[in-house]
Structure 1
Amino acid sequence: MGGLGESVVALPRQGGGDGGPRDARRLPRVPGFAAVPGASGGSADAHGAAVSSKAAGKALRGRVPRASHADFTPGADRPDAVAAVEESNRGRIDELAPIRVGRMAATPFAFLRGSAGLMAYDLVRTPLTGIGAQICGDAHAANFGLYGDARGGLVIDLNDFDETVHGPWEWDVKRLATSLVLAGREAGADEDTCRRAAHDTVGSYRRTMRLLAKLSALDAWNAIADEELVSHTDAHDLLGTLERVSEKARHNTSGRFAAKSTEAVAGGGRRFVDAPPVLRRIADDEAAAVAGALAGYLDTLSEDRLPLLARYAIHDVAFRVVGTGSVGTRSYVVLLLDHRGEPLVLQVKEARPSALLPHLAAAGFEAPAVEHEGRRVVLGQKRMQVVSDILLGWTTVGERPFQVRQFRNRKGSVDPAALAADQVDDYARMTGALLARAHAHSADPRLIAGYCGKNEELDEAVAAFAVTYADRTEADHAELVRAVRDGRVAAEAGV
């Protein structure tokens, strides 16, 4: 225990006594645990840590005024939209690039979904508090949704973590607010409604963080159960939509996907059926490499999961195109069948370095050494979600890192661009609360709450930023559409 500083924990003295104050027992400071307030000889009371965290957050307002978050001026050397898209396609499968471009060119909101790196380039040039958290990195409005838990229930949370890193909490908030403006515009909402949605998501984030800051550490960690979200965020107009999405999600299973995407083979079992370009069969050696890599995946799982997977046999592997920003990465589906022929489908998805990584140093955050990109994604997801997929893990195929998860695990999502105008701000408040809950698992909610404060100054500033950046995104999208129309960039629409 040598070399560890000592801290003081007040414990009762063994044996009898006169009922007066007890001596404090001196115990070693253990790395990974907080220091005891006042242990260094100061006079802080039991609430000293809470006071100092909140005060530190509040003091940051002097250096980074909350109103300054409205600011956005594109840098003179900002890459144009076409160059940014082409750069983000580097290292992906060439023949899938036109599908990715086609999906990004569909709408300004779709463009935002595929341009996390470009937005990170811009966000570096906006005010930063220096408070870090495990951030999603791609916290747009369509990256929240329902998924199944281990007992058959449905949870709602962030659900895409390809870009997750330890970085500035503001980046997630600003990206979410901007996405709500774009989704609202696409849904046909008027400009006041779109701005209010951005305002409301920040307000909900701020109020939720203040709530978490007032709770004990354990209560804050487990706060705001999903069944409380609607009332907590006053999102009652969204109830019917959530019920419809939930009902659909319950049927969105491996079994249903397998029934549509596989066929019986001679001698028993099933195999995937070609449905190009989204689903296609692959060569035997490629399929064998993916299947063989699942041995390494098992090593990343908790040992109590292994008996479950031991009851399944691997029957087939196919390539499947996914997402918008993810198109062009290597992504496989693996068909497993149990003794009754019931399917479980795993997704084995390439994990590329986060698009935010090149911009962290300029934001004052040290880019951590990443031993495996799949591990980065999985651990980031587990740090942010309340409940994660019990089969979440990672592996390596060839020399490329991959994440592994259940495919079609009763997933469902709200399409924010298809919401009625009177539902957009409800959805904004709900996602803002979910984002605060996710950030509070890695950042001290007292520190962020101290900075955000009680009034709406931050809400108004970020809403102004969101409208400005939504305009910038629309201009970027128009530039990409012109490039496609002029034949400078290949695009395949409607896939």
Structure 2
Amino acid sequence: MPNKNHARSKLPKAQQRQPLLTTRRNARMARSAHAYVRGNTSKFYEWLDGIEGHALPEGPAVWICGDCHSGNLGPVADARGRVEIQIRDLDQTVIGNPAHDLIRLGLSLATAARGSDLPGVTTVRMMEALADGYERAFDEAAGDADIHAEKPEAVRVVMKEAVRRSWRHLAEERIEDIEPSIPLGPRFWPLARRERREIDALFEQGSLEGLATVLRDGGDDTDVSVLDAAYWVKGCSSLGRLRYAVLLDIDGAAVEGDDLCLIDIKEAAQAAAPRYAGVRMPRDNAERVVEGARHLSPLLGERMRAARLADRAVVIRELLPQDMKLTIEQLTRDEAMKAARFLALVVGKAHARQMDSGERKAWLTELRRNRSKTLDAPGWLWTSIVELVSSHAAGYLEHCRRYATGATGRKD
């Protein structure tokens, strides 16, 4: 039988994590152009910073995702088990220009189309579908039916799986077992004693006990105890920040699946996404993320809390079995159009719910301007996508030269 202590001794200690996480992040981004786009948000912000001041319309000041690629959308659930496709990663959320989210989503989908070897004309039609789906969210005559219609196959599959999932599915997927422990290995690394003490102390706070019991209908006197915790090697752009998985027992009695709670603790860093000048947002980064989530993704926002851990801002949320990532890698021509229209509608709904009727009408009017005879989408949207696809393609090849070739022992 393998020696667990020996296997554990090979895993990195806390002070050894950073270089390993950086290497892993670079390797993940080299896997595909789509992965590079997802992981290199800073390149998108550099492009925004470099364009002329009036090249994009200035939409109403609302909370935006700030990093609105397709992988940051997916099924999320609320405390009552209702499941919807919403924005699921709010690290970069700010009060800013909603046009930025639309462009970022368009870049992600255009890159997925290129990865699927679809012809350029399909990308043109995708951007038209993207504009159409987004605009529907602000058209009061359209109603709410559109968000449930014409779901692409990738969305139908993940939604069907999400609604049937239970704690057992979550445990087997995330921690590989239903036993009350987190198995150390490639995904979970050991904690320093100081980290474990800080996590134990964190969940002694009454406000966080409430987070753990809200989905269990537990009262204020319900006991909550930390069963296990580990450093979580997760994500791509967030690799290198504090990230922990914590397994809680809700009632303190016999440990069973219904009593267990898997918590995600994620460091909230300073947002790089451009914000509108003069707007008021929480100064604490974790409070900013939670506030943005409550506006953009209410199902997710209601089960998130801001806290401090090791003197850093962290966002804490319970993971539910229905929380899943939407993966859009290989697309057919038909599915490409459906995906663009549907996901843009989801993002548009998240923006529109923050606007009054006058703001929605004015934004819709602006979105429908600047059309040509050959493109049924705003000219600024198409120009932005062309520039971004080109710059990211070059950036991806350079990234591969620097990192992927080094992994095979070749020199620059």
Pair in the same fold by TM > 0.5 = yes
**Residue in structure 2 matched with residue 438 of structure 1 by the alignment:** 350
Give, as a single letter, the amino acid of the residue that structure 2 aligns with 1:96. Answer: L
* Distance 1:308-1:350 versus aligned 2 partners, 3 A rule: farther
Give, as a single letter, the amino acid of the residue that structure 2 aligns with 1:446. Answer: K
- Can you give the 5+ residue segments of structure 2 that lack an aligned partner in the other structure? 1-16
State the SS of the aligned residue for 1:272.
Answer: coil
Displacement of 1:303? 11
Q: What is the rounded CA distance, in whole Å, between the counterparts of 1:180 and 1:383 in structure 2?
A: 24
Give, as a single letter, the amino acid of the residue that structure 2 aligns with 1:165. Answer: V
**Residue in structure 1 matched with residue 377 of structure 2 by the alignment:** 459
Displacement of 1:296? 4.6
8 Å CA contact retained: 2:27, 2:404: no
Displacement of 1:463? 2.6
8 Å CA contact retained: 1:301, 1:393: no
Q: What is the rounded CA distance, in whole Å, between the counterparts of 1:187 and 1:322 in structure 2?
A: 26
Q: Give 2:28's match in structure 1, choosing from 84, 87, 103.
A: 103
**Residue in structure 2 matched with residue 473 of structure 1 by the alignment:** 392
Root mean square deviation, CA, Å:
3.0
8 Å CA contact retained: 2:290, 2:301: no
State the SS of the aligned residue for 1:417.
Answer: coil
Give, as a single letter, the amino acid of the residue that structure 2 aligns with 1:207. Answer: R
Q: What is the rounded CA distance, in whole Å, between the counterparts of 1:491 and 1:311 in structure 2?
A: 52
Give, as a single letter, the amino acid of the residue that structure 1 aligns with 2:382. Answer: A
Displacement of 1:247? 3.1
| Length-normalised TM-score, structure 1 | 0.68
State the SS of the aligned residue for 1:138.
Answer: coil
Q: Give 2:200's match in structure 1, choosing from 291, 309, 316.
A: 291
Q: What is the rounded CA distance, in whole Å, between the counterparts of 2:361 and 2:30 in structure 1?
A: 41
State the SS of the aligned residue for 1:123.
Answer: helix
Displacement of 1:301? 6.1
- Can you give the 5+ residue segments of structure 1 that lack an aligned partner in the other structure? 1-91, 216-222
> Would you say 1:243 and 2:171 are equivalent positions?
no
Task: Write the mapping of 1:7-406 to structure 2, written as runs, cut at 5 A.
Answer: 93-124=18-49, 125-126=51-52, 127-131=55-59, 132-211=61-140, 224=144, 228-231=146-149, 235=150, 238=152, 240-250=153-163, 252-259=165-172, 261=175, 270-276=180-186, 278-296=187-205, 298=207, 305=214, 307=218, 310-338=222-250, 339-341=253-255, 342=257, 343-356=260-273, 359-360=274-275, 365-366=277-278, 368=280, 370-388=282-300, 390-406=302-318
| Length-normalised TM-score, structure 2 | 0.81
8 Å CA contact retained: 1:203, 1:456: no
Displacement of 1:486? 5.3
Q: What is the rounded CA distance, in whole Å, between the counterparts of 2:322 and 2:212 in structure 1?
A: 24
Q: What is the rounded CA distance, in whole Å, between the counterparts of 1:177 and 1:353 in structure 2?
A: 25
Displacement of 1:283? 2.8
* Distance 1:380-1:424 versus aligned 2 partners, 3 A rule: same
Q: What is the rounded CA distance, in whole Å, between the counterparts of 1:257 and 1:96 in structure 2?
A: 24
Displacement of 1:483? 1.0
Residue deviations 1:355-396 (CA, integer Å, cap 9, x gap): 22xx44xxx624756432111101101111243354211111
Residue deviations 1:146-195 (CA, integer Å, cap 9, x gap): 12222223111111110000111111111111111001111222211122
* Distance 1:95-1:365 versus aligned 2 partners, 3 A rule: same
Displacement of 1:254? 4.5
* Distance 1:252-1:321 versus aligned 2 partners, 3 A rule: farther
8 Å CA contact retained: 2:291, 2:301: no
Give, as a single letter, the amino acid of the residue that structure 2 aligns with 1:275. Answer: G
Give, as a single letter, the amino acid of the residue that structure 2 aligns with 1:152. Answer: G
* Distance 1:255-1:391 versus aligned 2 partners, 3 A rule: farther
Q: How many residues align?
A: 373
Give, as a single letter, the amino acid of the residue that structure 2 aligns with 1:246. Answer: M
Q: What is the rounded CA distance, in whole Å, between the counterparts of 1:258 and 1:303 in structure 2?
A: 16
* Distance 1:210-1:259 versus aligned 2 partners, 3 A rule: closer
Residue deviations 1:394-449 (CA, integer Å, cap 9, x gap): 11111111001122441233322123332011011011111111112334312311
Give, as a single letter, the amino acid of the residue that structure 1 aligns with 2:230. Answer: A
Q: What is the rounded CA distance, in whole Å, between the counterparts of 2:408 and 2:48 in structure 1?
A: 28
